[in-house]
Chain A
Amino acid sequence: MNSLVAVAYVPDTETKIRIAADGKSIDESDVKWIVSPYDEYGLEEALKTKEGKGAGAVTVVCVGPERAKTGLRECLARGADDAIWVDSGDSRYLDALATAKAVAAVAKEGKYDFLWFGQKGVGYDESLVGPMVAELMNLPHVGNVVKLEIGDGRITAHREIEGAHELVECSLPAVLTAQKGLNEPRYASLKGIMGAKKKPIAEKKLSAMGIPEADAAGAKTRWRKLDLPPARKACHFVPPDDPAAAGKELVRLLREEAKVI
């Protein structure tokens, strides 16, 4: 059972975001990059599937600039067998449809039973690419997967929705998007890190794939401007010494000043 795992290489959560001079992208100096956390759940599940079956390969793919290769190496170090880098050339915002078309093109060149995505990437936070790939490839998809049971050519995926889990059955091949709770991603061992250096990373160029949305002129979503959120007013502190008085004062403020209760 072969798996293709799509990963996004995004700014680490602790990174302080600064706006670049062009006003529509982030200043990348001092940014630490990581594989998006939700993608790690997808990679881990693919690795577990391969180990469980004792067969199959795990391929990772990332669409991004040169630094994406570092992210791919981290995935190879954890146990992925090979990687594909789709060079997007530069860092500017890429329309999800362009990314999806690139991943679909890569997927069509292999024979994958599972196509894993994170339920969102913590850079653009769009939750679009996985289901778009499913649509482009005319495959069923299950999103927000917190548990996966594999049968004979069929799977049952537990999908997290508001206040409930849906148990979804579908045939393979299928697209799945991983949600927190699916598994605990492993760390790369030293052996894995050394071994990763010998595993292949194939390279493709996004600009050569005939995807109109990859160009600024053909993009179907665009970032016109990037801003920091407006600064919040300083906190109004209520003295804690008399808890009963503090409780009453909070209610008074919420009612009379903030008008929310």
Chain B
Amino acid sequence: MSFINYSSREINCKIVYYGPGLCGKTTNLQYIYNKTNPEAKGKMISLATETERTLFFDFLPLSLGEIRGFKTRFHLYTVPGQVFYDASRKLILKGVDGVVFVADSQIERMEANLESMENLRTNLAEQGYDLDKIPFVIQYNKRDLPNAAGVDELKRLLNPRAVPDFEASATVGNGVFDTLKAIAKLVLTELKKGG
């Protein structure tokens, strides 16, 4: 849950990037890190294996500016996508304010996408959250690959509720900031409602 500090006039929110292994969650954060002004970001932390697969999480603190005198800070986290790291994924969802689901557009990863989406719903429910009620956006990543499935097909399978969704190629940055802005807006709108 967000943390409002009247003393330091800050509001802190937690956003988690979720999705199957190798879908590009860490790549999203790396792109954001590389393209953000030094004064608006903290250090990016990656707890990864020797082969650069996420072991526990990546973490990137970002400052977005002020709203009514309150500094807005977003803490971006990724989960480890590989199936057997489920215990770690559950831990990272604790206290989440908004979720980005990064789908891998490649046709052969469709089953992995669906499995990860179902896993997200289950793990959120264990923490007391309902995926249909929290700020949530979907990113169809790897649109630049020749074996990418059609967007209509991806929408049909992964986005039946028609939440905000974005096409992306995270390695070159397409769609990365659109996705981030959308989830940040949803989180702030939810705060406004008193969520």
* A and B held together in a complex: no
Which B residues contact A (CB, under 8 angstroms)?
Answer: none
Which A residues contact B (CB, under 8 angstroms)?
Answer: none
